[in-house]
């Protein structure tokens, strides 16, 4: 019967020991292959993390955000109202998307509502604001500027969901949803973006 020496024996294979050291079994810090210094040297994890954090903070400041502030799940509309399911919370004023005057919630853009519904199924904390109008005439009059909201939209990644979601533009001509009569009113003159 042949007895074998353990790997750490003094007469162990020298090439095997060198290969283990070269493969990182010696406890040395791991290196990031994608991060290198100007002279081609690899960067350790702490340096990589410091650089990535600094870049992200700079991007947040450029976007007008405070990187030291905790992420908030409260969403705000274009007039500063807190939003609940894409509309100003109960008791807060609703403003017309056309003329910017205070209005009720009787007339809502049906396509914006469809976009909101699609986004709500996939995006947990979304700041998409549903569009309300004071009248049919105001909706038709501001259609050329408002229809840009009906293009393909995206929702960026968050801490809880790292995916970027893309949403199709709603089909059809411009339409208002009458919230008290529960009916859709379409306008032939409100042609969608092509």
Residues 82-89 have a mean pLDDT of: 79
Confirm whether 38 is domain-assigned: no
So what's the pLDDT on residue 162? 73
Higher pLDDT, 73 or 97: 97
Confirm whether 154 is domain-assigned: yes
Confirm whether 120 is domain-assigned: yes
Residue 113 to residues 31, 119, 167, 171, 175: CA-CA distances in angstroms?
49, 10, 13, 12, 10
Confirm whether 21 is domain-assigned: no
In this structure, the number of other CB atoms found within 10 A of the CB of residue 192 comes to: 15
| Lowest-confidence segment of 71-80, 107-116, 120-129 by average pLDDT | 71-80
Confirm whether 165 is domain-assigned: yes
| 3 state SS of 118 | helix
Percentage of the chain lying above the pLDDT 90 cut: 4
Confirm whether 99 is domain-assigned: yes
Residues 78-105 have a mean pLDDT of: 83
So what's the pLDDT on residue 33? 46
Question: Has residue 23 got a pLDDT over 50?
Answer: yes
- The residues pairing with 175 across neighbouring beta strands, listed in sequence order, are 186
Parent domain of 144: 83-186
For the chain, how many structural domains are there in total? Answer: 1
Question: Has residue 172 got a pLDDT over 80?
Answer: yes
Confirm whether 119 is domain-assigned: yes
Percentage of the chain lying above the pLDDT 70 cut: 71
So what's the pLDDT on residue 78? 74
Confirm whether 131 is domain-assigned: yes
So what's the pLDDT on residue 26? 47
């Amino acid at each position: 019967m042949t007895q074998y020496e353990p790997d750490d024996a003094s007469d162990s294979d020298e090439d095997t020991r060198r290969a283990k050291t070269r493969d990182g079994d010696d406890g040395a810090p791991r290196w990031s292959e994608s991060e290198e210094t100007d002279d081609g040297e690899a960067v350790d994890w702490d340096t990589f993390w410091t650089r990535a954090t600094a870049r992200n903070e700079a991007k947040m400041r450029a976007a007008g955000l405070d990187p030291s502030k905790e992420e908030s799940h409260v969403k705000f509309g274009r007039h500063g109202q807190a939003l609940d399911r894409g509309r100003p919370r109960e008791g807060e004023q609703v403003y017309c998307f056309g003329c910017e005057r205070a209005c009720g919630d009787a007339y809502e853009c049906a396509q914006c509502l469809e976009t909101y519904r699609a986004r709500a199924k996939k995006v947990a904390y979304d700041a998409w604001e549903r569009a309300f109008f004071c009248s049919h005439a105001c909706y038709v009059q501001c259609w050329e500027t408002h229809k840009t909201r009906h293009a393909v939209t995206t929702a960026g990644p968050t801490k809880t969901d790292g995916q970027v979601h893309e949403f199709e533009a709603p089909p059809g001509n411009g339409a208002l949803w009458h919230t008290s009569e529960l009916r859709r009113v379409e306008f032939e003159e409100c042609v969608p973006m092509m």
